[in-house]
């Protein structure tokens, strides 16, 4: 199943990141696009999500310097754009994979594309990693660890359900029972022609 490999890749990314646990560390993708394009895309996608997860932690520091916070906000904006771009690359992969499949009469469209479902699976991997940290944190009290363990159990169940749903979606697309239709995100706030504030600066 594709999601089994995806979940392993996401765990690999998150573990690799936390060796240094530094948002400024260099990125290196162990999967070559010409040999394993899907793993290459999934690895990079989850790396972006992991770095952004920690950006979001840092910017919530009530003592953060305002200038540093603004700089970090710009990085978060750029990361969001890169995340969206990676989703579109992933959908491009699946469109190419299933380009010769003829949709059956009455085939249905899904509410989200495969790549956006993998986006949720990547974020879920991060939630699981960090909730597990809280559930096993030595300096937390028993009530905290117990509450986090209950949340962790739900997240793990959610990963099983989401993985199953994604695999079923891909199988339905493969057999023509569902079809893909991808819309570009058309984000406006980073575009100096579409954002009125940026346009005014030109």
Percent of the chain with pLDDT over 70: 94
What Rg value do the Cα atoms of the chain yield, rounded?
A: 19
Locate the domains of the chain by residue range: 2-191
pTM greater than 0.95? no
Q: Reply yes or no on whether the pLDDT at 197 is more than 80.
A: no
Can you give the pLDDT at residue 1?
83
Continuous segment of H or E residues that includes residue 148: helix 142-175
Note the pLDDT tens digit of each residue in 149-169.
999 999 999 999 999 999 999
Identify whether the C-beta of residue 57 lies closer than 8 Å to the C-beta of residue 133: no
Identify whether the C-beta of residue 82 lies closer than 8 Å to the C-beta of residue 158: no
Note the pLDDT tens digit of each residue in 69-81.
999 999 999 999 9
Identify whether the C-beta of residue 189 lies closer than 8 Å to the C-beta of residue 195: yes
Can you give the pLDDT at residue 187?
65
Identify whether the C-beta of residue 178 lies closer than 8 Å to the C-beta of residue 169: yes
> Which residue bears the tokens 């765990």?
11
Can you give the pLDDT at residue 196?
74
What tokens does 47 get? 């790396």
Can you give the pLDDT at residue 75?
97
Average pLDDT, the chain: 94
Identify whether the C-beta of residue 116 lies closer than 8 Å to the C-beta of residue 87: yes
């Amino acid at each position: 199943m594709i999601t089994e490999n995806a979940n392993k890749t996401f765990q690999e990314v998150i573990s690799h990141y936390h060796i240094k646990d530094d948002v400024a560390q260099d990125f290196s993708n162990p999967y070559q696009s010409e040999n394993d394009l899907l793993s290459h895309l999934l690895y990079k996608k989850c790396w972006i999500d992991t770095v952004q997860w920690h950006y979001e932690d840092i910017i919530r520091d009530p003592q953060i310097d305002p200038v540093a916070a603004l700089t970090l906000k710009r990085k978060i904006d750029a990361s969001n754009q890169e995340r969206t771009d990676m989703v579109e690359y992933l959908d491009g992969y699946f469109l190419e994979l299933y380009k010769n499949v003829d949709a059956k009469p009455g085939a249905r469209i899904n509410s989200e594309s495969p790549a956006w479902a993998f986006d949720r699976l990547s974020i879920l991997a991060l939630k699981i990693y960090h909730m597990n940290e809280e559930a096993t944190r030595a300096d937390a009290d028993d009530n905290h660890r117990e509450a986090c363990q209950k949340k962790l159990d739900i997240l793990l169940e959610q990963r099983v359900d989401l993985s199953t749903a994604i695999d079923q979606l891909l199988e339905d697309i493969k057999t023509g029972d569902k079809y893909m239709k991808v819309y570009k995100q058309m984000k406006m706030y980073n575009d100096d022609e579409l954002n009125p504030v940026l346009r005014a600066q030109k």
